[in-house]
């Protein structure tokens, strides 16, 4: 929420050039970029360090995002430990169809669980680069983000007192349920798309059933397998939006996965205990612009792409690179060009990825729409990926996020 200035009642105002709200991939990357440039900042996070370092979500990272992390000295562990993926596989019409994108493009995907990346970024920001961070804060509020003297306040978990931080800029990196986007709700244009589809998101304590991402486009609904590491594998099952995970006991989950990912010559699924089971209602949104006075939104705080295209973490990183560099240029050299262009340049890529997510959604879910016409066009779309080099190249560029320009 946005409040009037709290300075008058707060003798103990702290000062930082930048306050970053949220210690997810976006916020921590902004913090690391700023610290590397010698800019002081404070990261505020409502959860504990242990919680953010253990939250399993994304895992597929595009090569340009990996290179962006590497250029900023943030990819050491990732390059050492992540799996390199060179192909994915579609299963439809009873058959297996391997899409070997590295052969086609020379580019790959990296698979590195989000919690590992967050752990690396927290360590680099706080322990190596000496960045200030407060975990477990409560009731974060923004004050006068349009003025030259914005500030952020929060309730300190130890003392229960409201602390005030005066700053020059606020980076809103607090995800889809944060306060920064809500604080500008009256001024922001939010475009939203609901797919009317749910995904049961599962984590199985089992090695992957195949060493590549699997997409099952089945008349009973989509199923996917995303390797995460040698011991844990993510699976998805299309389900009604709002479905109760309790409707999906162990046996039902594995029966459906076997059916929807089944194909001639396919290796059997490696089953394991389900350690996460939750229903995600597939939706996207985009907040425009991404800048409001001295508040700049980044990552899920600005836009959400349903996990359909596995793009959210990647977008969060691209925003964070741009915002970190732009804030450093403005604070150190007085060069505001990056900040002026931040929103428009990020949004071009965001909309491109949203469009890809919609296109991909039809590919995944069209066969199960209960409409023979859509089932027919979906099958044609799937077959074209394997019969037309031009269609394959266009898909690979978007799947891998390797377009020259957005």
- Candidates 168-176, 285-293, 324-332, 389-397; binding stretch for ligand FAD (CB under 6 A): 168-176
Query: How does DSSP assign 52-102, residue by residue?
Result: HHH-----EEEHHHHHHHHHTT--HHHHHHPEEE--EEEEETTEEEEE-HH
Span near ligand FAD by CB under 6 A; candidates 43-51, 89-97, 145-153, 285-293: 43-51
At a CB cut-off of 8 Å and minimum separation 6, what does 192 contact?
283, 284, 285
Site string for ligand FAD, 5-24 (x = CB under 6 A): ----------------xxxx
Segment 44-63, which members bind ligand FAD (CB under 6 A)?
A: 44-47, 52, 57-60
Give the nearest distance from C-beta 301 to ligand FAD in angstroms. Answer: 6
Query: How far does the chain reach from its first CA to its final CA, in angstroms?
Result: 33
Q: How far apart are CA 169 and CA 171, in angstroms?
A: 7
Element (H, E) at 286: strand 273-288
Annotate each residue in 303-332 with x if it binds ligand FAD (CB under 6 A) or - if it does not, as one string. Answer: ----x--xxxxx-x----------------
CA proximity to 261, closest of 217, 219, 231, 226 = 217
Asked if residues 30 and 298 have their Cβ atoms less than 8 Å apart, the reply is yes
- If the CB atoms of residues 160 and 370 are measured against ligand FAD, the closer one turns out to be 160
Q: By C-beta, is 114 or 209 nearer to ligand FAD? A: 114
153 versus 314: smaller Cβ distance to ligand FAD? 314
Question: Of the listed pieces 164-172, 186-194, 294-302, 378-386, which binds ligand FAD according to CB under 6 A?
Answer: 294-302
Q: Which helix (DSSP H) or strand (DSSP E) does residue 119 occupy?
A: helix 114-122
Residue 284 sits in the site that holds ligand FAD (CB under 6 A): no
Three-state DSSP class for residue 291: strand
User: What is the spatial distance between Cα 132 and Cα 125, in angstroms, rounded to a whole number?
Assistant: 8
* Chain positions contacting ligand FAD, by CB under 6 A: 21-27, 44-47, 52, 57-60, 114, 140, 173-175, 177-179, 201, 299-301, 307, 310-314, 316
């Amino acid at each position: 929420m946005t409040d009037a200035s709290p300075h008058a009642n707060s003798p103990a105002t702290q000062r930082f050039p930048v306050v970053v709200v949220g210690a997810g991939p976006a916020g921590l990357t902004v913090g690391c970029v700023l610290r590397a440039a010698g800019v002081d900042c404070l990261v505020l996070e409502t959860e504990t360090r242990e919680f953010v370092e253990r939250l399993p979500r994304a895992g597929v990272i595009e090569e340009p995002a990996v290179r962006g992390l590497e250029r900023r000295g943030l990819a050491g562990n990732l390059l050492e430990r992540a799996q390199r993926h060179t192909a994915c596989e579609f299963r439809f019409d009873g058959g297996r169809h391997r899409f070997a994108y590295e052969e086609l493009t020379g580019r790959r995907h990296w698979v590195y669980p989000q919690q590992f990346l967050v752990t690396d970024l927290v360590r680099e920001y706080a322990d190596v680069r000496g960045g200030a961070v407060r975990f477990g804060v409560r009731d974060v509020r923004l004050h006068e983000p349009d003025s030259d003297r914005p500030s952020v306040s929060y309730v300190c978990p130890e003392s229960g007192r409201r602390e005030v931080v005066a700053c020059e800029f606020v980076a809103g990196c607090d995800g889809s349920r944060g306060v920064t986007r809500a604080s500008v709700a009256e001024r922001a244009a939010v475009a939203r798309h609901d797919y009317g589809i749910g995904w049961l998101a599962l984590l199985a304590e089992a090695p992957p059933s195949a060493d590549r991402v699997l997409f099952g486009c089945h008349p009973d609904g989509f199923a996917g397998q995303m390797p995460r590491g040698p011991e844990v594998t993510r699976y998805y099952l299309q389900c009604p939006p709002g479905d109760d995970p309790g409707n999906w006991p162990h046996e039902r989950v594995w029966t459906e996965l076997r059916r929807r990912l089944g194909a001639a010559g396919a290796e059997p699924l490696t089953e394991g205990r389900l350690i996460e089971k939750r229903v995600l209602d597939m939706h996207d949104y985009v907040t425009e612009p991404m800048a409001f006075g001295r508040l700049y939104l980044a990552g899920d705080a600005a836009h959400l792409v349903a996990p359909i295209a596995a793009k959210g973490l990647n977008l969060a990183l691209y925003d964070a690179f741009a915002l970190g560099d732009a804030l450093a240029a403005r604070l150190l050299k007085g060069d505001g060009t990056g900040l002026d262009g931040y929103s428009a340049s990020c949004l071009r890529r965001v909309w491109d990825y949203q469009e890809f997510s919609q296109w991909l959604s039809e590919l995944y879910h069209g066969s199960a729409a209960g409409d023979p016409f859509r089932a027919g066009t979906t099958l044609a779309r799937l077959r074209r990926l394997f019969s037309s080099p031009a269609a394959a190249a266009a898909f690979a560029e978007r799947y891998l996020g390797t377009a020259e320009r957005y």
